[in-house]
Amino acid sequence: MSALPFLFRELLGTIRARSAVAFLLTWILLVVFLACVSAFFLLVPSRVEPPGGIESLPIEELRAYLSPRLSSASIDSLYVDIRARSDVSSIQFRFAQELRPNATGGVFLIRPMRPEQAGELAVILESVNGVTEIEEMRAAPEQTESPLSGVVRIVLLVVLVASIALAFLFARRGYAELLRAFAGEIRTMRLSGVSERVIVPLVVGLGVLVGLLAGILLFVVLFLLHYTVASQAAQAAWAAGLSGVGRVLGVSFVNLLLGVVLGGLIGLLGVSTLGHRDFDPLP
């Protein structure tokens, strides 16, 4: 029978007021750290759709797909004809496969002289013999500024560093209190031939638990925020990162992983105190 679950329960049972406060503070600080990390990933610049929708954006380019049966001489002639038009600013030839993997033939990338002329030009090109399809390429939606200003970024970075440093500090204090109360048990274990491979995971496990709980809390909070943002008709620009479930899920898993790793490091901090004479089984 593995004694590890029993020993872990016993270790948790040894937590008293002082060590509990220290571990609680460690947990809160880890939550703050993970929240800062999440802010960097989730509060990102977003593209703003214009009031009239994507359709209202100006056409920047027309793509005229050519029949694969057109000879190179016909393509050249068509090219010259289109370039000569006064409402065409520029024209380029590409193989259709460069834009669509399964397509054949060629394609003209045509920039109208003025965006408002593009509609009319598209109608004309569609009627040209040898042109199979016209694709309208619209300007990209305007990008908002990042919701994190320079000052906010600096503040977040400071909070990030301070929270992790303080978390380690409080964890050290918590472990010192807890292991002092558990010293008799550790001595007994060592005296009885219990391997360090049992004692060390026990101590590291507590740190991992604290980190995991911080990650889980952030997981829940981020999904609550996601559902709140998603349910609102008008989304705030700063909340755009929270509206995508994939991004929220990814950040949540990063948080869980970070929580476990940081918890493990905190646990190793506890392990470093096990070499103290108080834990020696023999005087």
Partner 1 sequence: MIQVSELHFVTEDGIKVLEDVHLHVEQGELVYIVGPASSGKSLFLGLLGAHVPPQRGQILVHGRNVVRLSPPKRLELRRRIGFLPQGFVPMARTVHEALLFKLRTLGNYREQAEEKAILALETTGLIRQQGISAAELSNLDRIRLGLALAICDTPWLLLIDEPFEGLDASEAAEVCAVIERVHTGHLTVVVATRGPLPNTARSHRGVTLLDGRVNEQ
Q: What is the CA radius of gyration of the chain?
A: 32
**Contact between 185 and partner 1 (CB under 8 A)?**
yes
CB of 206 to partner 1, least distance (A): 17
Please list the residues that pair with 92 across neighbouring strands: 109
**Which of 123, 99, 111, 270 lies closest to 201, judged by CA?**
270
Tally of CB atoms within 10 A around 141: 13
**Contact between 202 and partner 1 (CB under 8 A)?**
no
Instruction: Read off the tokens for 190.
Output: 């060592």
CB of 207 to partner 1, least distance (A): 21
* Total site size for partner 1, rule CB under 8 A: 20
Instruction: Read off the tokens for 75.
Output: 């393509």
Identify which range of 177-185, 235-243, 253-261, 269-277 contacts partner 1 by CB under 8 A: 177-185
CB 134 within 8 A of CB 121: no
**Contact between 20 and partner 1 (CB under 8 A)?**
no
CB of 263 to partner 1, least distance (A): 24
Given candidates 2, 72, 127, 231, which one binds partner 1 under the rule CB under 8 A?
2
**Contact between 195 and partner 1 (CB under 8 A)?**
yes
Identify which range of 5-13, 45-53, 107-115, 133-141 contacts partner 1 by CB under 8 A: 5-13
Q: Give, as ranges, the residues between 264 and 283 that touch partner 1 (CB under 8 A).
A: 281-283
Q: Give the x-and-dash track for 49-78 against partner 1 (CB under 8 A).
A: ------------------------------
Question: Angle of helix 196-231 relative to helix 150-181, nearest 10 degrees?
Answer: 140
Residue with tokens 């008799």: 184
Instruction: Read off the tokens for 257.
Output: 């992983």
Instruction: Read off the tokens for 99.
Output: 């834009």
Q: Give the x-and-dash track for 122-161 against partner 1 (CB under 8 A).
A: ----------------------------------------
Sequence-distant (6+) residues with CB within 8 A of 144 are 45, 46, 47, 48, 237, 240
